[in-house]
Each structure stands twice: as C-alpha cells, then as structure tokens.
Amino acid sequence: MALRIGHGYDIHRTEKGRPLVLGGVRFEADFGLLGHSDADCVTHAICDAFLGAAGLPDIGHYFPNTDPSLAGIDSQVLLRQVIAALHAHGWAPVNLDASVQAERPRIAPRLADMKAALSLATGLPVAAIGLKATTNEGVDDIGRGLAIAAHAVVLIESK
C-alpha cells in the first residue's frame, strides 16, 4: 500500500456584508470572506491538500474563478468533487488536519460542527479529522482582521 502526504494553504480577504463560512459552517459575523465561491478558506486548503497528495493540479484548475456556474457555490460541493477525483485516481483519504488563523470570530465553539461537515464531505470518520483555531495575536493583516487563512495537511492511501 502506498501512502502520500499533501499540504494546502489558502487565504481570503474579509469584507462586510458577505456570509462567513469556514469548514462548511456558517458563522454569525458582520463580515464574511471575499471570493468567487463561498470563499471557505478552510475547505479550500483541504481541497488543495488532497489534490496535492495525489499529484493532481490545484483547486483553481478544477474550479476556475472565471466559471459563472461556480459563483457563490458551497465549497463542500467542491470538496466532494475533489474526493471523487481522488478515488477516480485510485486514492482514498486516511486523515486530515487543518489550522484556521482568524482574529475573530471565535472558531473553537464551532469546531465540532466543522468536523461533522468535513466528515460528511470527505467520508472520513470525525476521529480522523483534526481542526485547530488560532488568532494571529494582532500581528499583520490576519491579526488586524483583514483576512482569514487556513493550512491543511492530509494523508491518502492507494486503494
């Protein structure tokens, strides 16, 4: 059995009046993330980690931000398609671990909800999904609340 590791990173600017969706969960906030889809940077980082692990092109290749049919799309739909592509190439997810960098709102109370959403989209058991949230201690643009970023690492195995 072959194992592969993948890494993903994503960042989106914050903007007033947009919905805030992180890890497939809608947050109560007076701002959201700017992007062509729902701009869920956590899910995008996870998509790129899975694609990278399988040696496939990145999320922008599969879901270009010039495609009008993807405007405002739920990124869990994209993640489901990434997992389908993974299986089509003979790979299956083993686990995933992601970190969110957000000055606000508080992410920790919703981590269990995010894990449940990501479990549904990936087919992974909740116990195989790691999620952490951290502020940026007021440092740089993330610390000033101008953006939210996410890192993800995944393991996949050959089927």
Closest to Zn ion by CB, 3 vs 9, is: 9
Instruction: Give the closest residue to 8 by CA, choosing from 75, 68, 108, 67.
Output: 75
Closest to Zn ion by CB, 128 vs 154, is: 154
Residue showing tokens 């116990």: 127
The region of 5-13, 20-28, 90-98, 131-139 touching Zn ion under the rule CB under 5 A is 5-13
SS3 25: strand
CB of 3 to Zn ion, least distance (A): 26
CB of 85 to Zn ion, least distance (A): 17
The region of 3-11, 50-58, 90-98, 130-138 touching Zn ion under the rule CB under 5 A is 3-11
SS3 102: coil
SS3 36: coil
Contact 52, 9 (CB under 8 A): no
CB of 2 to Zn ion, least distance (A): 28
Helical spans, DSSP H, in the chain: 41-53, 59-62, 75-88, 111-122, 140-143
**Rounded distance, CA 115 to CA 120, Å?**
9
Total chain residues near Zn ion (CB under 5 A):
2
Residues 6-65 that bind Zn ion (CB under 5 A): 10, 44
CB of 152 to Zn ion, least distance (A): 12
Closest to Zn ion by CB, 10 vs 103, is: 10
